[in-house]
Amino acid sequence: MLKSVLVANRGEIACRVISAARRLGMRATAVYSDADASAPHVKMADAAIGIGPAPARDSYLDIEKIVAAAKRAGVDCVHPGYGFLSENAEFAEACARADLVFVGPPPSAMRAMGLKDAAKALMERVGVPVTPGYHGAAQDEAILSAEAGKIGFPVLIKAVAGGGGKGMRRVDRPEDFNEALAGARREAEAAFNNGRVLIEKFIENPRHIEIQVFADAHGNVVHLNERDCSLQRRHQKVIEEAPAPGMTPETRGKMGAAAVAAARAVAYVGAGTVEFIVDGAAFPDGGFWFMEMNTRLQVEHPVTEAVTGVDLVEWQFRVAAGERLPLLQSDIHVEGHAVEARLYAEDPTNGFLPSTGSLWGLTFAEGAGIRVDAGVCSGGEVTPYYDPMIAKIVAHGSSRDEALDRLSGALGRTLVAGPRTNLAFLKALCDAPGFRAGKFGTGFIDRDLAGLGAVPRDIDEYAGALAVARHAKRLFDEALDTRARGGGPLSPWDEMDLFQLGGGRTAAVMARVDGRDFMARVEFGAMEVGCSIPNLRVRLGGAEIEPIARLSDNEWIVEAEDNTYLVLRAGFQTRVEIGVYDAAESGDAGDAVVSPMHGKLTAVFVDAGARVRKGQRVAIVEAMKMEHPLVAPVSGVVAEIRAAPGAQVARGAVVLLVEPDSGGAE
């Protein structure tokens, strides 16, 4: 067995690889960019080496830096994870030149499967069914248009390089073909530096089913059954499961045999995935067609591990060390059902835009059949430099219904406070009747974005009221504590003001709820605090509230920055920034501007002799972490200033005097 590894990746897959290496007694070295210096995978490893600035091209995609780090660490092998350099043949060759074992397939296999057109031609030669279409060398616009006509519309234009939906266009009419072709080529050229495309027949209501294959260097190849990855949005997988709903042993056997033939055709070694497209309306009795082969570990590999009991990363290390596969095909079975949801820092209510920022709170569910693979932690940060994945949440059960129930429950008990996430969207998808019934394809999500909650939402007034009450309750508790300790000079309990213990005093509170103005009224009772808005009232009392508080099964309040709260309700996050108490009627004191409460005079905005108008803000008093603006009671000239900024002022103290205009008070 290999004794040490450098993990050339980051995030949850780096943590996953390090964990497997540890179980095998291997020493693990991590690499990190400047943005990841304090990341969990760095802390988890036995050693860590910095490899440069945050942009991936200057760190995780820099072959020379990673190979140099591996040599410096003195490791036996390099594990690329997935993404970044995992399917880069030049990287594998650079490792070999440095006498490092590359934990992955040979470069020849990567190249053979790296371009979709060449891979399809190879698959045809070995008898693996491919999607009807054109994948020839000629790229003239007229030839491609003619081939599309022969195939029959609708067709799919696909870049021969890369993946993730880039350089892909569906074309429904001949007259739209040339424009779509130009767009696909531009996108492919920008993403992969390769503008070549192929044309495929578009399969209506398709399902995406992939087969996990594994091969060793001794000629043994097995498949570990299938995964259904049909729940996608813009060609990006969202939820994956194993086995595929509706799959029969006969169809599984045929697809598995085709996947094994594909792996043998390129002399494959290690973990790989052969992806097929099937006709959802005719599945499982209809045809299936080869799409591509991923020459690496897949993001969704945990669902295969859950139903087969195989540690795929351990197998990767063993095969890389020259060992034979641990199991024969006849030894591999499916037990139960597993489902994986990809938890991303993105906002489904705003076009799924990526979201970044500090993670003020992060709590994952635990329980029977639940596995969480995460690469971030509470107190960390989601940066704009890399994939916005927070975690993969996996549920395993004896049946598909049990697995989905467990996943839905786990999603409901998960807290992510800070960046916005797709948590509520994932739970809605998990509970969607069509998905539960197995009636879905790759277009399922896009057909019902509104039903899945992936549309703009109105302001959550309840969340706003809850946060205001929570803030007032914290101030209330702090004041109680001050009184219990004997108070002090200018204690808020010395006067019958807003915060007295007995009686029901109230105050208006301004806030910003998801960037929109919000007004509520706080009510201070004898031992509790309430908050009310039209048709809604929230009351908090009793036990002290922690900085991260769970109020119910699907409600959390997290204190972020000063006077800012994040309210999580049913997976949706609302940001509430507490403003200032409204100004009291200070005109009762005639021409004097008085403090309505004990506090600190934090600002005076006018000088003696300055002209002011009635209602103009002239000073601010801060009390119990809230600001209270003081306004001029009349229009006139400031005659005297009696307190300087920084001074403590008592309730009723005169801060400044205004000499009214000759016309008197307005």
State the Cα–Cα distance between residues 222 and 241, nearest whole angstrom: 20
Instruction: For residues 329 and 337, give the distance between their C-alpha atoms in angstroms, rounded to a whole number.
Output: 19
Contacts of residue 481, defined as CB under 8 A and 6 or more positions apart, other chains included, come to none
What is d(CA 253, CA 243) in angstroms, rounded to the nearest whole number?
13
CA-to-CA separations, 620 to 506, 641, 646, 647, 655, in angstroms, rounded: 20, 13, 10, 11, 10
The first and second tokens of residue 238, run together, are 């969202």
CB-based contact 14:375 (threshold 8 Å)? yes
CA 543 to chain centroid, in Å, comes to: 33
The answer to whether the Cα torsion of 242, 246, 251, 255 is positive or negative is negative
Give every CB contact of residue 638 below 8 A, 6+ residues apart in sequence.
606, 607, 608, 609, 610, 611, 612, 618, 656, 657, 658, 659
User: Do 46 and 28 contact (CB within 8 A), yes or no?
Assistant: yes
Tokens of 124: 């045809």
**CA 4, 6, 11, 13 torsion: positive or negative?**
negative
Check 296, 318, 420, 575 and give the catalytic one: 296
Instruction: Give the residue from 664, 589, 665, 576 showing the smallest Cα distance to 630.
Output: 589
Q: How many CB atoms lie within 10 A of CB 652?
A: 14
Distances (CA, A) of 140 to 154, 189, 663: 20, 16, 86
Paired tokens of 339: 């489902």
- 3-class DSSP string for 454-470: CCCCCCCHHHHHHHHHH
Identify whether 342 is a catalytic site residue. Answer: no
Catalytically annotated residues: 296
